[in-house]
């Protein structure tokens, strides 16, 4: 009997523990707001032509200078842009911009959301250059942008630029490091919603030497994959030359090893094994692999973070053009609008297994699957308006090569606008306590 | 001794005045008849005695006549003198009270003293106690500036002849006073307005100013019972309002002062009399003698209402005065001597309490035998042996552990739930008293009383609050251990049990977590809980506690409630639980009186502290989450599961793998046959409550999100109960186990000791290693950069990522240019919905209108504290209406583009401009007619005055106070703190009442035994 009272106490305790478990409703301490930031396409500079591919005619857009929040539908699947930079609410779809100078060159790029760091490996500041760096401020406040330049002579003086709100400025890239041949530019916005674009255009006197849109990389990495490099060759002529441009932006020299991935296999070209790259100095290596494939990829392993790109020469309808194949980020699920481009996509990776849904201009969806190892190529159907990568393994990279009557172009397969998951903030006085 | 011839030239008539003095009269009569110098004539006056006084007088054959009972002493004497034969030279009147027995030689000594002093007209004996005849009552009297009767003696002063001799004095008591008849008649006898008390001082004063001398001759001795003054008999004299001796005494004292003092001194005297009456009244109130307190006030008031009487008295004195009033100045005690005497009395009182008289009877050295001394072994205690005592070892251990654990907490503490402390106590006082707090958008919530307590407590370190908080956190474990040891000493005599148990209490999970996370209230409760347990050990039979004790404990509870109202919940739950038990007993015994007393006392104990903490506690009724909060920031607890094992969980708590034996001890103790069982029931009850409370989530103290309740205060009770129960159980365990066969008790005991020992080792290890990296740390960098504090009272929206690297959360709040300080989270207002929306939109990039909204609420800057998501910074950059003003390692600052300030002005054309306004109230200039918007939370006490008129106040659509200005000119912005002051006054009144009730009660004079009196 004397055990009853203690047992009652324990029973009450256990009951309360049970009730508390029920009462203790999981407290959601976080709530999120998800959205795709708007993407910004480069302006069309004088003498150039631009077309932007969309996956839907209902895609909303706004001209950069428009200070209201009103947007309009594009109403077409490929929009020619005369001048302005466009701000596009494309949600998860990445629009691709195709720019060209008639009869001279062409290049492709991605319309992207504002970036906190952009590395442009490409261009030259010598007398041949007509290249330009375009800084677009899509925000409603003025922006401050740091432009860091690196050349074969090392790091150049920092240039800080103010970009007024809803506007863009164009900087001639020869002004960044006058006289230097090899250029790599790092654009770091200190404030503001900034997108940078680089056009590398070269000419000698009146003779156009070609041009391209140089696609940016977000940050340096110890493993850089450039997934699509055009390698034009024929039985009669040797393959057109390639140049690998590398920069180790840190303070320590890097040792790099370059692997070429092609249909002919994977190999390290002679002289590109454990090559030293001085920190802060843009270094170029000749890359002339003896391969038969028309497309190759390059994988660079480094002891330090590097940025890299490959400049390739291409001939289109008898005219010489050059292409800057830049590093691509790891492939993720994404949708890319490619109306009118018919890109040739090259996947690189040890084990490639990519599933795609291709939406044709008539609205039909065709499922495709690309598999392989090291490198696998796939040409997008001619009447495709967009493709969606629905499934992809880790460690796969992709880039697209596009040939047009004006020239040859490259763009990486990457998401221009990633789903931004922003936590809805709480009001808490705790923020005022150290 | 004077020669008989000298004595004989005087004629002495003794006038005996009696009034209900049958108790003392026989001895008085005997004393008069046994005088060595016979009295020439004795006459007596009886003022309406109802006892056997007249019979006694008659049987003593003393001629007497009777008057009515309202006849005062002076009037009675005058009547007696009037009936005497014609005055002759050297005739003296010897005034004898019916409670004053002169020694046989008294008259002879008095006459001897005046023999060679013809200027003397009044001489008095040394008055000794009636019962204690070594107690010196008077050797001449005077009156202090505040009307106090001044004898210049210490209370209960022993007569050793230290005041002997013949001295000039202002006056002597009428008891045994010898007065020259001619002068007595010349001065008109005693003032008829002074029916009793102070007539002696008045007469002496008048005699002095008439150019005569008054002396005391201590060779003459009289024994005085002071029956009227000590309320041994009723005061029936005319004018004795309410028959209260003290009232009459104080009134007469004031009369004497006002009637005799110089004109130019009157205002000062009146002020002194009133001031001292108020002070004394307060003293009596504290001593719970409201009757005496009212006597003090009434005495002065009734006199001052009749100025004509005083004017008449002054006229009479003016006629009698022959020398300057300055002659009495030397006999009026200086203020410093009154102060000295008062101080001495106070010191003596304290000394008596602190060092009670040693009752040890010393042995005479004559009793010792030197030879034995030689044989007695010398006590050669090695002082190092002190370190073998468990108390010393225990406290040294906790001191070392605490010092090592506190290695990151030497300096101004901040972090966890603890905000930064202001440098001085005055800041805390200001914060406590102010009616409007500049926190967030502003708050008029009542400051919690613990702020005032910290301000008071910090006085021990000269008001350095930061230093006090540091010291408090440093010594808290020692205090916890001491208080727990203090309790355990009553439960077990074995210090090898009580000291380790107390050490474990100080190293319990809740104690370690409270220090690490900055929970002041739990620390206070951990220190106070053992003392409360000790005081309330008979909580069940609360009727045995006196009301004074109930109110004393209420004061302690008030302190605990002030820190956390969770202690109110604990007390309430405990009271209800016990009352249910009491009711069961009542159902059996039907003793309603006992049941009612228990309920009443328990209710007083629980609810009186609640009202003492008003208005803070009353506001909790509107915001019930306050019942579950602690001072400082709302730091989430760990939920029910860790609480079950005595660990409050959350930031700063010990890791979950460090399982304490609290639950195990309580569970085992439940089955104990000792007192531990009862203690364990309380402990398990507290643990059950803690588990329940731990499962609740609240939103309070400026935290919009919900957080699990911190259960530290409730767990403190469970922890203490576990420690106490364990100690009680272990106390007799060894003996029980040795005497019994091996059974489950042995197993449980072994398990208990093993787990406890294991916990102790791990807790010490944790405490001195990882435990030192607590949330509370010293000298942390501030959140707000100094350059944002330059402009006073600037509202800044602060964005910051809070939490660990793995679990960060963006949060925001409105700063007034500085970090939060002690107490501010407790009164932080709820976030305004529109500001919340604007802040959210700012962060998710949709806030095109955020700038406008923030500007409308007077927010001038947005500050993103580093490290912060760069995407959001870019997003804010991209939003219109914000101009980035700086980007440093501390963070990024944007200025809201539109003009904004605390005070906005919109003119009739709709143009908005910012006006300069001080922190609270201030004056500024309005350029034209228009609308004035105060960007503070709406509150009725906001007022704007222009040209002496109050401007019309309405709340605009955003809920901000808006005032209509009709013309240009200077305006005054004020926040009317009348309501706050009213509440504070009420709180002071509540507190005073409780203190008075808790203080020891004074005794009326009639309640003091005669032995004690004299």
Is residue B670 one of the residues assigned to a domain? no
Helix, strand, coil share (%) of chain B residues, nearest 5:
50, 15, 35
Give me the residues of A, 126-185, that contact B with CB < 8 A: 138-144, 165
CB of A428 within 8 Å of any CB in chain B? yes
* A contacts of B870 (beta carbons < 8 Å): 116
Helix axes B465-491, B495-506, angle to 10 degrees: 150
Is residue B828 one of the residues assigned to a domain? yes
Q: Are A35 and B844 in contact (CB < 8 Å)? A: yes
Q: Find the angle CA(B350)-CA(B355)-CA(B359) to the nearest 5 degrees.
A: 135
List, in order, residues 6 or more apart from A55 with CB less than 8 Å away.
A77, A90, A93, A95, A335, A337, A339, A359, A385, A386
* A contacts of B824 (beta carbons < 8 Å): 429
For chain B, how many residues are written?
A: 1014
CB of B601 within 8 Å of any CB in chain A? no
- pLDDT digits 0-9 by tens, B213-269: 999 999 999 999 888 777 777 666 555 555 677 888 888 888 888 888 888 888 888
Residue B474 confidence class, pLDDT cut points 50, 70, 90? very high
CATH number of the domain within which B27 lies: 3.90.550.10
Q: Do B946 and B818 share a structural domain?
A: no
Confirm if A241 and A289 have CB atoms less than 8 A apart: no
CB of A270 within 8 Å of any CB in chain B? no
* A contacts of B878 (beta carbons < 8 Å): 114, 138-141, 192-193
CB-CB: which of B634, B798, B881 is closest to A431?
Answer: B798
DSSP string covering B845-859, please? T--TTHHHHHHHTTE
Shortest distance, CA B896 to any CA of chain A (angstroms)? 11
Instruction: Verify cis geometry, omega within 30 degrees of 0, for the bond prior to B615.
Output: yes
For chain A, how many residues are written?
A: 434
**SS3 of residue B556 by DSSP:** helix
**SS3 of residue B695 by DSSP:** coil
Q: Find the angle CA(B417)-CA(B422)-CA(B426) to the nearest 5 degrees.
A: 130
User: Is the ipTM beyond the 0.90 threshold?
Assistant: no
Q: Which two tokens stand for residue B523?
A: 């620390």
CB of B440 within 8 Å of any CB in chain A? yes
| Minimum CA–CA partner of A35 in chain B | B844
| Minimum CA–CA partner of A67 in chain B | B880
Is 60 exceeded by the pLDDT of residue B6?
Answer: no
Counting residues of chain B whose pLDDT is more than 90, the rounded percentage is 36
- pLDDT digits 0-9 by tens, B284-307: 887 778 888 888 888 888 888 888
What are the b/e assignments for A373-386, b being 16+ CB within 10 Å? ebbbbbebbeebbb
| Minimum CA–CA partner of B693 in chain A | A20
Is residue A148 one of the residues assigned to a domain? yes
* B contacts of A19 (beta carbons < 8 Å): 692, 695
DSSP string covering A35-66, please? EPPPEEEPP--TT-EEEEE-S-TT-EEEETT-
Q: Averaged over B740-754, what is the pLDDT?
A: 80
Q: Are B702 and A193 in contact (CB < 8 Å)? A: no
Is residue B883 one of the residues assigned to a domain? yes
Least confident of B408-417, B841-850, B858-867: B841-850
Q: Do B331 and B268 share a structural domain?
A: yes
CB-CB: which of B640, B703, B881 is closest to A429?
Answer: B703
| pLDDT given for residue A336 in this prediction | 94
- How far apart, in whole angstroms, are the C-alpha atoms of residue B645 and residue B662? 6
Strands B795-803 and B777-778: unpaired
| pLDDT given for residue B2 in this prediction | 44
| pLDDT given for residue B372 in this prediction | 53
CB-CB: which of B691, B820, B877 is closest to A429?
Answer: B820
Total count of domains within chain B: 4
| pLDDT given for residue B69 in this prediction | 82
* B contacts of A429 (beta carbons < 8 Å): 439-440, 633, 701-703, 813, 820, 824-825, 828
Shortest distance, CA B355 to any CA of chain A (angstroms)? 47
Q: How many angstroms separate the Cα of B698 from the Cα of each of A162, B572, B637?
A: 48, 20, 11
| Minimum CA–CA partner of B893 in chain A | A191
Domain boundary among B896, B923, B953: B896
Q: Are B809 and A140 in contact (CB < 8 Å)? A: no
**SS3 of residue A346 by DSSP:** strand
Is residue B293 one of the residues assigned to a domain? yes
- pLDDT digits 0-9 by tens, B694-704: 998 888 888 88
Q: Which two tokens stand for residue B886?
A: 């700086």
Q: Are A425 and B811 in contact (CB < 8 Å)? A: yes
Shortest distance, CA B909 to any CA of chain A (angstroms)? 26
Which of A87, A116, A166, A429 is most worth mutating to test chain B (most B CB atoms within 10 A of its CB)?
Answer: A429
Q: Using alpha carbons only, how large is chain B's radius of gyration in Å?
A: 39
Shortest distance, CA B404 to any CA of chain A (angstroms)? 23
Domain boundary among B595, B629, B663: B629
Q: Do B827 and B911 share a structural domain?
A: no
Question: DSSP label at B437?
Answer: B
Is residue A18 one of the residues assigned to a domain? no
Averages of pLDDT over each 10 residues, chain A, 434 residues:
80 88 63 82 91 92 82 90 88 92 90 90 85 90 90 92 91 90 92 90 82 92 93 70 92 94 90 92 90 90 95 85 93 92 92 93 91 91 92 93 91 87 83 89
CB of B411 within 8 Å of any CB in chain A? no
Is 80 exceeded by the pLDDT of residue B190?
Answer: yes
Q: Are B840 and A27 in contact (CB < 8 Å)? A: no
Q: Are A425 and B414 in contact (CB < 8 Å)? A: no
- How far apart, in whole angstroms, are the C-alpha atoms of residue B219 and residue B210? 26
CB-CB: which of A16, A423, A429 is closest to B688?
Answer: A16
The tokens 């143009």 sit on which residue? B911
The tokens 């409703």 sit on which residue? A25
- How far apart, in whole angstroms, are the C-alpha atoms of residue B629 and residue B644? 20
Q: Are A190 and B780 in contact (CB < 8 Å)? A: no
* A contacts of B875 (beta carbons < 8 Å): 37, 193
- pLDDT digits 0-9 by tens, B644-665: 999 998 888 889 888 889 999 9
**SS3 of residue B830 by DSSP:** coil
Q: Do B920 and B810 share a structural domain?
A: no
* A contacts of B705 (beta carbons < 8 Å): 29, 426, 428
CB of A68 within 8 Å of any CB in chain B? no
CB-CB: which of B695, B825, B844 is closest to A24?
Answer: B695
Q: Are A139 and B802 in contact (CB < 8 Å)? A: no
- How far apart, in whole angstroms, are the C-alpha atoms of residue B603 and residue A392? 71
Total count of domains within chain A: 1
- How far apart, in whole angstroms, are the C-alpha atoms of residue A54 and residue A51? 10
Alpha helices in B732-849 (DSSP H): 733-739, 744-768, 833-844
* B contacts of A114 (beta carbons < 8 Å): 874, 878
Residue B1 confidence class, pLDDT cut points 50, 70, 90? very low
- pLDDT digits 0-9 by tens, B520-546: 999 999 999 999 999 988 888 888 898
Is residue B493 one of the residues assigned to a domain? no
What are the b/e assignments for B638-653, b being 16+ CB within 10 Å? bbbbbbbbbbbbbbbb
Average pLDDT of chain B is 86
Question: DSSP label at B924?
Answer: E
- How far apart, in whole angstroms, are the C-alpha atoms of residue B357 and residue A30? 68
- How far apart, in whole angstroms, are the C-alpha atoms of residue B74 and residue B71? 8
Is residue B860 one of the residues assigned to a domain? yes
| Minimum CA–CA partner of A32 in chain B | B844
Q: Are A30 and B809 in contact (CB < 8 Å)? A: yes
Is residue A299 one of the residues assigned to a domain? yes
Expressed as residue numbers, the domain containing B31 is 4-347
| pLDDT given for residue B921 in this prediction | 67
Is residue B61 one of the residues assigned to a domain? yes
Shortest distance, CA B688 to any CA of chain A (angstroms)? 5
| Minimum CA–CA partner of B865 in chain A | A431
| pLDDT given for residue B918 in this prediction | 62
CB-CB: which of B691, B784, B798 is closest to A16?
Answer: B691
| pLDDT given for residue B493 in this prediction | 87
Q: Averaged over B888-914, what is the pLDDT?
A: 88
Q: Are A193 and B874 in contact (CB < 8 Å)? A: yes
Shortest distance, CA B508 to any CA of chain A (angstroms)? 21
Is residue A427 one of the residues assigned to a domain? no
Domain boundary among B629, B646, B669: B629
Is residue B391 one of the residues assigned to a domain? no
Expressed as residue numbers, the domain containing A207 is 35-421
| pLDDT given for residue B680 in this prediction | 92
List, in order, residues 6 or more apart from A29 with CB less than 8 Å away.
B705, B706, B809
Q: Do B909 and B868 share a structural domain?
A: no
Q: Do B823 and B945 share a structural domain?
A: no
**SS3 of residue B693 by DSSP:** helix
Is residue A261 one of the residues assigned to a domain? yes
Q: How many CB pairs under 8 A join A and B?
A: 202
- How far apart, in whole angstroms, are the C-alpha atoms of residue B591 and residue B662? 38
């Amino acid at each position: 009997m004397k055990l009853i009272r203690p047992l009652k106490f324990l029973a009450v305790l256990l009951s309360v523990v049970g009730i508390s478990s029920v009462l203790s409703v999981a407290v959601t301490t976080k709530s999120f707001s998800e959205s795709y930031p708007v993407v910004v396409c480069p302006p069309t500079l004088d003498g150039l032509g631009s077309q932007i591919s969309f996956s839907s005619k209902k895609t909303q857009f706004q001209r950069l200078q428009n200070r209201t929040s009103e947007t309009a539908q594009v109403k077409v699947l490929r929009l020619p842009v005369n001048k302005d930079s466009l701000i596009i609410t494309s949600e998860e779809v990445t629009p691709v911009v195709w720019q060209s100078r008639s009869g001279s060159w062409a290049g492709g790029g991605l319309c992207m959301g504002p970036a906190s760091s952009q590395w442009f490996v490409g261009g030259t500041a010598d007398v041949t250059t007509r290249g330009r760096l375009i800084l677009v401020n899509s925000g409603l406040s003025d922006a401050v942008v740091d432009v860091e330049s690196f050349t074969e002579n090392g790091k150049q003086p920092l240039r800080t630029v103010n970009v007024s709100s809803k506007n863009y400025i164009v900087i001639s890239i020869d002004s960044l490091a006058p006289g230097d041949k090899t250029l790599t530019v790092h654009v770091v916005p200190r404030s503001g919603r900034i997108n940078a674009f680089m056009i590398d255009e070269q000419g000698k006197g009146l003779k156009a030497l070609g041009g391209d849109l140089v696609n940016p990389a977000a940050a340096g990495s110890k493993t850089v994959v450039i997934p699509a490099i055009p390698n034009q060759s024929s039985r009669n002529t040797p393959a057109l030359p390639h140049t690998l441009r590398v920069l180790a932006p840190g303070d320590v020299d890097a040792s790099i090893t370059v692997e070429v991935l092609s249909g002919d296999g994977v190999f390290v070209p002679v002289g590109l094994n454990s090559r030293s790259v001085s920190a802060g100095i843009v270094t170029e290596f000749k890359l002339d692999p003896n391969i038969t494939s028309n497309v190759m990829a390059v994988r660079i392993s480094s002891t330090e973070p590097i940025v890299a790109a490959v400049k390739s020469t291409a001939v289109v309808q008898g005219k010489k053009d050059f292409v800057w194949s830049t590093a691509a980020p790891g492939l993720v699920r994404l949708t890319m609008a490619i109306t009118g481009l018919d890109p040739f996509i090259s996947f690189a990776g040890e084990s490639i297994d990519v599933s795609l849904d291709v939406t044709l201009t008539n609205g039909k969806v065709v499922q495709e699957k690309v598999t392989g190892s090291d490198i696998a190529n796939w040409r997008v159907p001619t009447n495709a308006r967009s493709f969606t990568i629905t499934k992809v393994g880790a460690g796969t990279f992709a880039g697209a090569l596009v040939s047009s009557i004006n020239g040859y172009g490259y763009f990486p397969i990457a998401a221009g606008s990633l789903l931004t998951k922003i936590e809805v903030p709480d009001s808490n006085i705790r923020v005022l306590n150290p | 001794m004077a020669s008989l011839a000298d004595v004989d030239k005087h004629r002495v008539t003794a006038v005996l005045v009696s009034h209900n003095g049958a108790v003392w009269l026989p001895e008085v009569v005997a004393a008069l008849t046994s005088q060595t110098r016979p009295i020439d004539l004795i006459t007596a006056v009886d003022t309406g005695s109802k006892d056997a006084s007249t019979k006694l007088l008659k049987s003593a054959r003393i001629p007497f006549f009777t008057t009515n009972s309202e006849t005062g002493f002076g009037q009675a004497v005058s009547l007696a003198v009037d009936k005497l034969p014609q005055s002759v030279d050297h005739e003296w009147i010897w005034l004898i009270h019916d409670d004053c027995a002169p020694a046989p030689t008294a008259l002879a000594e008095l006459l001897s003293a005046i023999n060679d002093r013809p200027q003397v007209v009044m001489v008095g004996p040394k008055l000794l106690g009636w019962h204690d005849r070594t107690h010196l009552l008077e050797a001449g009297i005077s009156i202090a500036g505040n009307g106090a009767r001044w004898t210049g003696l210490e209370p209960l002063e022993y007569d050793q002849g230290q005041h002997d001799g013949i001295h000039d004095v202002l006056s002597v008591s009428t008891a045994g006073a010898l007065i020259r008849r001619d002068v007595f008649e010349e001065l008109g006898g005693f003032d008829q307005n002074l029916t009793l008390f102070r007539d002696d001082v008045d007469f002496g004063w008048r005699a002095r100013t008439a150019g005569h001398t008054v002396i005391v001759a201590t060779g003459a001795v009289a024994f005085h019972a002071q029956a009227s003054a000590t309320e041994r008999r009723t005061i029936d004299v005319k004018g004795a309002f309410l028959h209260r001796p003290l009232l009459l005494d104080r009134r007469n004292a004031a009369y004497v002062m006002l009637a005799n003092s110089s004109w130019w001194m009157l205002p000062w005297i009146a002020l002194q009399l009133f001031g001292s009456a108020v002070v004394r009244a307060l003293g009596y109130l504290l001593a719970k003698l409201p009757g005496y307190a009212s006597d003090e006030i009434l005495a002065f008031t009734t006199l001052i209402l009749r100025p004509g009487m005083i004017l008449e008295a002054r006229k009479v004195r003016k006629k009698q005065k022959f020398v300057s009033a300055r002659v009495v100045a030397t006999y009026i005690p200086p203020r410093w001597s009154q102060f000295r005497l008062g101080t001495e009395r106070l010191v003596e009182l304290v000394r008596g309490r602190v060092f009670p008289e040693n009752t040890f009877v010393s042995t005479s050295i004559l009793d010792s035998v030197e030879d034995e001394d030689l044989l007695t072994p010398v006590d050669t205690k090695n002082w190092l042996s002190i370190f073998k005592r468990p108390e010393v070892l225990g406290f040294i251990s906790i001191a070392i552990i605490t010092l090592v654990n506190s290695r990151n907490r030497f300096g101004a503490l901040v972090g966890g739930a603890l905000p930064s402390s202001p440098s001085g106590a005055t800041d805390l006082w200001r914060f406590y008293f102010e009616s409007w707090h500049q926190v967030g958008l502003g708050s008029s919530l009542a400051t919690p009383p613990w702020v005032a307590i910290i301000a008071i407590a910090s006085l021990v370190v000269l008001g350095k609050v930061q230093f006090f908080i540091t010291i408090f956190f440093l010594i808290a474990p020692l205090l916890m251990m001491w208080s727990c040891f203090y309790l355990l000493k009553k439960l077990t005599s074995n210090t090898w049990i009580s000291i380790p148990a107390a050490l474990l209490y100080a190293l319990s999970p809740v104690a370690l977590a409270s220090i690490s996370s900055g929970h002041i209230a739990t620390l206070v409760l951990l220190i106070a809980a053992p003392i409360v347990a000790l005081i309330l050990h008979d909580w069940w039979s609360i009727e045995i506690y006196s009301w004074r004790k109930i109110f004393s404990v209420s004061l302690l509870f008030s302190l605990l409630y002030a820190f956390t109202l969770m202690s109110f919940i604990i007390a309430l739950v405990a009271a209800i639980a016990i009352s249910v038990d009491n009711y069961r007993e009542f159902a059996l015994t039907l003793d309603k009186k006992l049941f009612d007393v228990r309920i009443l006392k328990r209710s007083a104990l629980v609810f009186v502290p609640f009202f003492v903490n008003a208005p803070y506690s009353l506001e909790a009724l509107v915001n019930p989450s306050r019942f579950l909060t602690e001072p400082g920031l709302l730091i989430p607890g760990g939920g029910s599961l860790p609480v079950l094992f005595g660990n409050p969980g959350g930031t700063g708590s010990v890791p979950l793998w460090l399982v304490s034996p609290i639950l195990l001890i309580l569970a085992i103790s439940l089955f104990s046959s000792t007192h531990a069982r009862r203690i364990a029931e309380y402990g398990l009850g507290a643990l059950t409550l803690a588990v329940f409370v731990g499962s609740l989530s609240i939103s309070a103290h400026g935290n919009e999100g919900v957080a699990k309740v911190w259960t530290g205060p409730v767990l403190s009770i469970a922890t203490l109960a576990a420690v106490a129960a364990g100690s009680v159980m272990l106390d007799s365990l060894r003996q029980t186990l040795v005497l019994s066969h091996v059974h489950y008790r042995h197993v449980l005991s072994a398990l208990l000791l093993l787990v406890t020992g294991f916990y102790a080792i791990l807790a010490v290890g944790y405490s001195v290693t990882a435990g030192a990296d607590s949330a509370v740390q010293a000298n942390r960098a501030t959140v707000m950069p100094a350059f944002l504090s330059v402009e006073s009272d600037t509202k800044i929206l602060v964005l910051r990522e809070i939490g660990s690297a793995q679990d960060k959360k963006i949060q925001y709040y409105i700063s007034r240019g500085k970090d939060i300080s002690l107490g501010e989270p407790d009164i932080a207002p709820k976030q305004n919905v529109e500001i919340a929306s604007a802040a959210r939109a700012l962060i998710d990039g949709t806030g095109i209108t955020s700038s406008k909204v923030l500007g409308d609420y007077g927010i001038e800057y947005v500050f993103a504290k580093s490290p912060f998501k760069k995407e959001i910074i870019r997003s804010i950059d991209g939003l219109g209406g914000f101009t980035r003003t700086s980007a440093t390692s501390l963070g990024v600052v944007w200025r809201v583009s539109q003009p904004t300030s605390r005070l906005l002005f919109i003119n009739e054309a709709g143009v908005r401009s910012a006006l300069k306004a001080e922190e609270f109230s201030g004056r500024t200039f309005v350029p034209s007619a228009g609308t004035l918007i105060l960007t503070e939370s709406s509150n009725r006490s906001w007022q704007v005055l222009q040209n002496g008129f109050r401007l019309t106040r309405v709340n605009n659509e955003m809920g901000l106070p808006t005032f209509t200005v009709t013309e240009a000119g200077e305006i005054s912005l004020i926040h009317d703190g009348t309501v706050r002051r009213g509440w504070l006054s009420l709180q002071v009144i509540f507190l005073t009442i409780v203190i008075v009730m808790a203080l020891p009660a004074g005794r009326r004079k009639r309640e003091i035994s005669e032995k004690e009196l004299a």
